[in-house]
Chains A and B, each alone.
Chain A
Amino acid sequence: MQQRKVTWLAATALGLALTGMAMADPAEDTLSVETDDGTIDFVTQTAAPEFLKGHLDTIYSGWLFREDETRALQKDDFDNPAMVFYDRGVDRWNATIGKNGESCAGCHQGPESMAGLRAVMPRVDEKSGKLMIMEDYINNCVTERMGLEKWGTTSNEMKDMLSVISMQSRGEIVNVKIDGAAAPFWEKGKEIYYTRYGQLEMSCANCHEDHYGQMIRADHLSQGQINGFPTYRLKDAGMVSAQQRFVGCVRDTRAETFKAGSDEFKALELYVASRGNGLSVEGVSVRH
Chain B
Amino acid sequence: MTRHLVQATLLALAAATPAFSDTAPKDVVFEEGAVAQSLTGKPGNPEEGVKVMTTNALGNCVACHVVGALPDVQFPGNIAPPLDGVADRYSEAQLRGIVANAKMTFDGSFMPAFYKTDGFIRPGDGYTGKAAGGELPPILNATQIEDVVAYLVTLKE
Contact = CB atoms under 8 A, between A and B. Distances in A.
Interface of A: 20, 23-24, 195-202, 206, 210-211, 214-218, 221, 247, 250-257
Nearest to A257: B129
Nearest to A216: B77
A214 B79 contact: yes
Given A200-B112, A211-B110, A252 B132 contact: no
Contact of A215 (B79, B121, B130): B79
B110 A210 contact: yes
A202 B112 CA distance: 8
Contacts of A257: 122, 124, 129
Interface of B: 60, 62-64, 74-79, 110, 112-113, 120-132, 136, 139
A176 B63 CA distance: 35
A198 B128 CA distance: 12
A199 B77 contact: no
A250 B60 CA distance: 18
- Give chain A's interface secondary structure class: loop
Nearest to B130: A256
Contacts of B121: 195-198, 201, 255
26 contacts: A197-B120, A198-B121, A199-B120, A199-B123, A199-B139, A200-B112, A201-B113, A202-B110, A211-B110, A214-B77, A215-B75, A215-B78, A215-B79, A217-B63, A217-B77, A250-B122, A251-B128, A254-B124, A254-B127, A255-B120, A255-B121, A255-B124, A256-B124, A256-B131, A257-B122, A257-B124
B76 to A, nearest CB: 7
Given A199-B136, A217-B77, A221-B79, A254 B110 contact: no
Nearest to B113: A201
B77 A215 contact: yes
A216 B75 CA distance: 9
B129 A247 contact: yes
A216 B131 CA distance: 25
A254 B136 CA distance: 11
Contacts of B64: 216
Contacts of A201: 112-113, 120-121
Contacts of B78: 20, 23-24, 214-215
Contact of B79 (A197, A198, A216, A255): A216
Contacts of B124: 198-199, 251, 253-257
Contact of A254 (B75, B79, B126): B126
A221 B76 CA distance: 14
Contacts of B130: 256
